[in-house]
Structure formats: C-alpha cells, structure tokens
Amino acid sequence: MRIDRYLSEMGAGTRSELKKMIRKGQVSVDGETVKDPGYSVEPGQKVLCAGVPVEYETEVYYLMNKPAGVITATEDRHQKTVLDLIGERTRKDLFPVGRLDRDTTGLLLITNDGEMGHRLLSPKKHVDKRYRALVSGEVNAEDVRKFAEGLRVDEELTALPAELEILEIRSEGEEKRSVVEVVIREGKFHQIKRMFGAVGKEVLELKRLTMGPLRLDPDLGEGQWRRLTEKELKELREITGMG
C-alpha cells in the first residue's frame, strides 16, 4: 500500500497534506525517512508521522448521525453519500451497514467489517432497530395491534411483528399527526413507510434511534460522526456472536 494512502486511511491527514509532509521528510518507515508518497508499506511495519506512531487498523467502525438529503451508498456520481461526509481522511473500503432512505435521519454504522455488517442485518440475529416517526393521521390501538401481529403490506412485502408505541397525538388545524416509535427486526426496502401505508397513514419524518446495542449519540449533530467506543464495539460483537 502507498505510504500516503496508509496514513490517510489511519486519519493522519488528507492525501494532499500527507504528500507534503512526506516530501519534507516528516515520515519514516522502520527508522528510515521516506520522501516518496508512493513508497510501498505493509501493515506491521513501524510508521512514524511527524514523530507520532501510526499503527494500521484492519477494521474500523464509525457511528454517524445521518442527515436528510444524503444517500446511504458508497459512491454516487450525482448525489452526496454518507461516505462523502466522512471525507478524504478515511479508508476506501468502508460501507454503511443497512440503508436509510435519502430523507431518513439518525443512527448509521459505517465500517469495513463485512462479517459484522452481515450479521447485524441477518433476520436470524433479530437485531432490534428503533425509529421515531412523525405520521399523518391519528395512530390508534388497532394500528398497534396490526403491527404486533405482522403485516401483509403488499404483494412483495410481509413484515414481521413489530412494536409500535404512540408518544403523542398532535392537532394541526383540522388535521392530526402522530409521534410514534417503532421497533423492527428486519430492514426491507422502505419498510416502515410501507407498513404505515398499509394502515392508511403516511410517514412524514423518520429517524433511527438505535441499532442493537448502539444508541444515537446526542452529542453528534446531523452529518457528524465518531469512532465507536470500546464498550460499544464489545456489545456489538456480543450481540452478533463475534465476541
């Protein structure tokens, strides 16, 4: 791997910043100064950048508060993606675990750990995902019952039983709107929106609050991200059987 890419993926700086530092002799590999940004380095070699050791990590995990208007994808020619928000300071093998619609906000896990991602999304693991939604109309006890029993949404989608909790009913003129929380254990295409559509209501706003043991960090503004803590990672490994 190129030394500038190695350092960039480990968050030491942008590729352009690092190339300048390398050419100035501020980077060494196994005690030898390196001035070529294309110098090949392997994980396990001792790398110093401005005197600070930079150890290569095989797997990385980020918690993001996804904003509206950004798509959950690794790349797109026309629209901004969640990886664009992390930017050039990260590695190129990252992917979002699961998909939030373009207008859906909230918790998103981004990693390069394919096995972890697969297990979190597997229906067999029954990983709960909690969402808060603003819904048109008045959600009622009958809707709660239907969600709890599981829904035949349309010809393509049958939804497993889900927990629906009514938090607030708002009156806006002659119209009513409901604030609810929903817990699902799968993540099919537009699932929550389609489930509410099946009971005659429309989802106006949707935010994911939790995914398994992960909780949306209240200190993260929309579009912000941070690395998982050791505690969060340990809990994820336990729930997916990788601990």
Q: Which residues are tagged catalytic? A: 101
Which residue in this structure is represented by tokens 């604030």? 179
With beta carbons less than 8 A apart as the criterion, state whether 58 and 115 touch.
no
The CA distance from 7 to 91, in Å, is 9
Helix/strand number for the chain, H first, E second = 7, 15
Q: Tokens in use for 190?
A: 């537009």
What is the DSSP annotation of 136-195? ES---HHHHHHHHH-EE-SSS-EEPP-EEEEEEEEEETTEEEEEEEEEES---TTHHHHH
Sequence-distant (6+) residues with CB within 8 A of 178 are 134, 135, 136, 137, 138, 139, 166, 167, 168, 169, 170, 201
Q: Tokens in use for 167?
A: 């938090």
With beta carbons less than 8 A apart as the criterion, state whether 135 and 178 touch.
yes
